[in-house]
Amino acid sequence: MQALLDVRHLTISFHTYRGLLEAVHDVSLTVNPGETVGIVGESGCGKSVTSQAAMKLLPAEATEYTGGQILWDGRDPLGEIVGGSILFENQDLLKLPEKQMREIRGGKISMIFQDPMTSLNPVLTIGNQLCEGIALHQHLGRKACEAKALELLRAVGLTSPEKRLHQYPHELSGGMRQRCLIAMALSCSPRLLFADEPTTALDVTTEAQVLDVLKRLQAELGMAVVLISHNLGVIAQMCRRIYVMYAGAIVEEGTADDIFYRPAHPYTQGLLASLPDPAQKDKALTGIPGQAPDLFHMPEGCRFYPRCPQAMKACMTAAPPREEAGPGHHYTCWLAQAAAAKEALP
């Protein structure tokens, strides 16, 4: 099957006051039409930056990138895609001019951002914000835009949608705002939706409702979803395939069953072991010891080795190879070769 999104060897750096920082290293991932793919990992591992790059929404891409020159003003870090390609429907997005990219962004690829309060414009009504995107991409008149906005608010399950059209974001609850963001993201029936921690700010009941809305609309529209989360429960509920990221790199990829029942990488194993077990309520939680590495001082060999319970000498000095644990199940680790070497001993 031809992938809808094909990210190859993507490397992203940020210009910061401490120098150049590599936030994403050699990331490759694919998303097929209509499927839900999860990207999971700790905060700061590069999940959101990868999705922002796919929409060319890194600060430098949107505003400051001129003729291959990054103009950094010394304040907010500016991102730069230093290597790789991002193919969407076989078209390299990195080679598209901004004008064409604007038609794809919001039209064919859309995004739900992390925080509904800061993602919505506080001085515009929900109706105005929804109509803005619809008018831009579908070239409809005011009346038709409002009718479409109403239809969308109904589709995401908002109560009294006519009233919500005329309300401001601060007049709505967190769950309602998140539903509005979903409505906005889906207003042009995109082929691909990035949902970046779409339920982080919500309580468990609202989270379940919002995920149900997402699932239902995905099936109705036949769109692909990339769900970005540090919440393994959300990922398990929604995703068919999963990428696990650590310190800017993908360390394991496979089906949901591979990741949850046959994790091969020690980091994935650590993540799963740190989940609370409802059957053993008295058991203390086990976390992964240590902290994710400072991206300015990345370990030379395996990025996970300072925290890995199975680390070996080779892990300190050489980057681990990509190994196959099964069909479509890959992980980046020295363990397989160490086991093979032991077996080879007389």
Cβ pair 239, 255 in contact under 8 A = no
Identify which of residues 135 and 319 has a Cβ nearer to ligand SF4 in the complex: 319
Supply the minimum distance, in Å, between the C-beta of residue 235 and ligand SF4: 20
Piece of the chain touching ligand SF4 by CB under 6 A; list 14-22, 224-232, 254-262, 298-306:
298-306
Identify which of residues 276 and 321 has a Cβ nearer to ligand SF4 in the complex: 321
Sheet-wide strand order for 224-229: 109-112, 192-196, 224-229, 36-40, 241-246, 249-255, 329-332, 322-326
Q: Is 156 in the site for ligand SF4 (CB under 6 A)?
A: no
Task: Please report how many Cα atoms fall inside a 13 Å half-sphere around the Cα of residue 134, on the Cβ side.
Answer: 23
Residue type, 278: P
Supply the minimum distance, in Å, between the C-beta of residue 321 and ligand SF4: 9
Contacts of 167 (CB under 8 A, 6+ apart): 125, 126
Identify which of residues 136 and 312 has a Cβ nearer to ligand SF4 in the complex: 312
Q: Smallest Cα–Cα separation from 108: which of 149, 59, 55?
A: 55
Q: Is 130 in the site for ligand SF4 (CB under 6 A)?
A: no
Q: Is 334 in the site for ligand SF4 (CB under 6 A)?
A: yes
Cβ pair 192, 104 in contact under 8 A = no
> How many chain residues touch ligand SF4 (CB under 6 A)?
14
What is the distance between the alpha carbons of residues 219 and 36, in angstroms, rounded to a whole number? 10
Q: Is 333 in the site for ligand SF4 (CB under 6 A)?
A: yes
| DSSP β-ladder status, 241-246 and 69-70 | unpaired
What is the distance between the alpha carbons of residues 341 and 38, in angstroms, rounded to a whole number? 33
Q: Smallest Cα–Cα separation from 276: which of 209, 231, 211?
A: 231
Q: Give the containing element (helix H, strand E) for 91.
A: strand 91-92
Piece of the chain touching ligand SF4 by CB under 6 A; list 17-25, 147-155, 183-191, 305-313:
305-313
Piece of the chain touching ligand SF4 by CB under 6 A; list 4-12, 19-27, 200-208, 312-320:
312-320
Q: Is 298 in the site for ligand SF4 (CB under 6 A)?
A: no
Site for ligand SF4 in 228-287 (CB under 6 A): 265-266
Q: Is 305 in the site for ligand SF4 (CB under 6 A)?
A: yes
Q: Which residues bind ligand SF4 (CB under 6 A)?
A: 265-266, 302, 304-305, 308, 310-312, 315, 320, 333-335
